[in-house]
Amino acid sequence: MKKIIFLISVFFVFTVFAQEAAEAENEAETKAENETETAGEAAPEAAPAKADDDKITVSKEELAKLVREAVAEEMAKKEAEKKEAEAAKEQEVAANTAKEEEKPADEAAKEGKKEELSKTGDTNGLIQTSYTKSSISFIMGDDNLRDNSQYSPKWDIGSRYEYEDFADRVYGYSNNVKSSTKLSLFHEEKGFIPYITARMSLSFAMYNSVDSMSDKLITSLKEDRSFLEIDFRHPTKHRFNITLYPYNADNIAIGTLRGLRWGGNASVWPQSDSSPVPGFQVLYGYSDFSVYFGFKAHAQSKTDKLSTEIVPKETVYGFFGGLTYNNKELGLKASLQGAYIDKGDNVNISDFLLEKPGDDTIKSYGIDAYLEYNNGSRFGDPIGINSYSDGTWVSPDYTSNIAWRIRGEYLFQNERLQNADYLSSANGKAKPITDDYMAHGAAVDLGFRWKGLRTMFLYSFRDLSFMTFDAPGVNPWTTIPSEAKQTPEHLFTVSADYYVWHFWFGASFGYKIPATYTVKDENGKKNTMVIRERLSTDAVSTAFDRTREMLPTGRDALDIFFVKADIKYQFSDSFTAMLEYSFTRDHNRQRMVAQDDGTYKSESDVIEVMDVHGLMFLVEGRF
The backbone torsions φ and ψ at residue 164, rounded to the nearest 5 degrees and listed phi first, read -70, 125
Question: What are the tens digits of pLDDT across the range 396-408?
Answer: 999 999 999 999 9
How far apart (Å, rounded) are the C-alpha atoms in residues 342 and 319? 9
pLDDT confidence of residue 310:
65
Question: What are the tens digits of pLDDT across the range 54-89?
Answer: 555 656 666 667 767 776 777 777 777 777 777 776
DSSP string, 57-100: ---HHHHHHHHHHHHHHHHHHHHHHHHHHHHHHHHHHHHHHHHH
Orientation angle between helical segments 2-42 and 60-102, nearest 10 degrees: 170
**Bridge partners (DSSP) listed for residue 327:** 332
CATH of 110-622 among 1.10.3470, 2.40.170, 1.10.3430, 1.10.20: 2.40.170
Assess contact for 508 and 493: CB atoms under 8 A.
Answer: yes
Assess contact for 420 and 432: CB atoms under 8 A.
Answer: no
Q: What is the side-by-side order of every strand in the sheet holding 515-520? A: 485-487, 515-520, 526-531, 548-550
pLDDT confidence of residue 374:
96
Assess contact for 492 and 458: CB atoms under 8 A.
Answer: yes
pLDDT confidence of residue 283:
92
How far apart (Å, rounded) are the C-alpha atoms in residues 581 and 489? 25
Question: How is residue 426 annotated by DSSP?
Answer: B
Extract the runs of DSSP E, i.e. beta strands, from 119-246. Answer: 135-142, 156-157, 181-190, 196-210, 217-223, 227-233, 238-245
pLDDT confidence of residue 176:
45
Which helix (H) or strand (E) is 288 found in, with range?
A: none
pLDDT confidence of residue 183:
84
List, run by run, the mean pLDDT of 10-residue segments along the chain (623 residues).
50 47 49 47 45 55 69 74 72 58 45 42 49 75 74 59 56 52 84 88 79 75 88 87 91 88 84 80 91 90 62 84 91 95 83 71 94 94 64 82 97 93 62 90 96 95 95 89 94 94 93 94 89 68 64 91 91 87 87 74 82 84 80
Length of the chain: 623
- Per domain, the residue ranges of the chain are 2-39+58-102, 110-622
